[in-house]
Amino acid sequence: MNKIVLLNIQELLQVRQMPTQPLRGEEFTKLPKITNAYLVLCDNEVERFGEMSELNPDVLRDSEVIDATGRLVFPAFCDSHTHAVFASPRESELVDKIKGLSYQEIAASGGGILNSAKKVQQMSEEDLFLQSLEKVEQIIQGGTGALEIKSGYGLTLKDELKMLRVISRLKAHVDIPIKATFLAAHAIPAEFERDKEAFMDEVVHRWIPKVLEEGLADYVDLFCETGYFDAGDVQAVAQAIQGTPLKLKVHVNQFTAIQGIEAAVKNKAITVDHLEVLDHQDLVALKLGETIATVLPACSFYLNIPFSPVKELIKEGIPISLASDFNPGSSPSSNMFFVWSLACIKMKLTPEQALNALTVNSAFAMGLEATHGALFKGYRGKIIVTNKVPSLAYLPYAFGTNHIHQILN
């Protein structure tokens, strides 16, 4: 039996009974915590916690003791929206942007999603796997304890399957849960340039059945946006996965509101992601449904586009989760502490609300609420021990700082 006891924890955060529903409204603003706390881990499982004054000294026998004076302790982040498997970063696009090139000019000179796709198509599965494994290991060191990864840079069935197989192999090689999302319709491939309908036909009748047959995905996603895919396509994908284990997620309302949210909520999407632009109809749909709103402030920061109006979502009692959107084109960072800072500095979430969105609600956003997101008896996920900090608010306040002292489990 391997026993670890943390003593004198300044604040032990996110201690709850296992949540049964995503946090919304008043619940979303509260962060349960114990000041001057202890925490006992037995064989990597949370056995008990409480106030130091209640600690039974017998617990310390045969235990590894960690003094956590001045430190905060909380469950690892759940990052429910990433594109962490890609072949090549696109830092030259940043330099192009600095020089004043437009998105179209950058795409014409070999940038954008189609460029990422070309690189994935040219790379072997083995190389893509090895490179991705390194990225995921870095993500874990950054404090992420559960991860969703999307395909979507394949753009052919063969290369989408290659990406999904890489994600499957990653699942087997790291000690955090990974959820795989088949981003079936990310961009329209060049060979279907003038015939989106034919491409969607292919996705619905060949690609999704093949992914199902091989059991390679947990979710299916599409990019619902003007010039890409629309509410009808959301409906078509939802129909294609009806009665299967696959669930729906949708990239939607990043630049325009085109009734995609309504279609997603109606089809019981587990999340709708982005939501930089929201109209009244979108809010009504979300309010009446069960879908979680996943917002991605690092993407808004990098692209210089509006941040999601989360205050309106909160006012309507809609559950919010926060994710990194880690990808080479629009959010080249997987740093969840930075996401936390942006959520507070740019979106005006309180530090407590933001941590709820980064842990409990993001665990729901990937179906991991029974095992991740909050510290409860039996929790087996990773645990973050911070550097010595004056208070919780210091973490989002001191943006860009590495706050991690140790990751347990």
Q: Which residues contact Zn ion by CB under 5 A? A: 325
State how far the Cα of 227 lies from the Cα of 368, in Å rounded to an integer: 34
CB nearer to Zn ion: pick between 282 and 325: 325
* Cβ proximity of 297 and 330 under 8 Å: no
- Provide the minimum distance between the beta carbon of 323 and Zn ion in the complex, in angstroms, as a whole number: 8
Hey, which bits of 106-190 come out as E strands? Answer: 144-150, 178-185
Question: Shortest Cβ distance from residue 250 to Zn ion (Å)?
Answer: 10
Pick 222 or 257: Cβ nearer Zn ion:
222
Separation in Å, CA 193 to CA 17, 214, 294: 51, 28, 30
Nearest 5°: the CA angle 197, 198, 201 is 85
Orientation angle between helical segments 157-173 and 112-122, nearest 10 degrees = 70
Given the structure tokens 């990406």, which residue do they identify?
163
For the record, the structure tokens of 52 come out as: 């130091």
CA dist., res. 113 & res. 150, Å (int): 13
Nearer to Zn ion, 230 or 325 (CB): 325
Nearest approach, Cβ of 185 to Zn ion (angstroms)?
13
If the CB atoms of residues 93 and 325 are measured against Zn ion, the closer one turns out to be 325
Query: Which CB sits closer to Zn ion, 273 or 352?
Result: 273
Measured at CB, which residue is nearest to Zn ion?
Answer: 325
Closest separation between CB of residue 228 and Zn ion, Å?
Answer: 12
Nearer to Zn ion, 41 or 113 (CB): 113
* Whole-number Å distance between alpha carbons of 230 and 177: 31
CB of 186 to Zn ion, least distance (A): 9
Which is it for the CA torsion 263, 268, 273, 279, positive or negative? Answer: positive
One-letter amino acid for residue 261 of the chain: I
Neighbours of 243 (CB within 10 A): 6
Work out how close the CB of 149 gets to Zn ion at its nearest, in angstroms, rounded to a whole number.
11
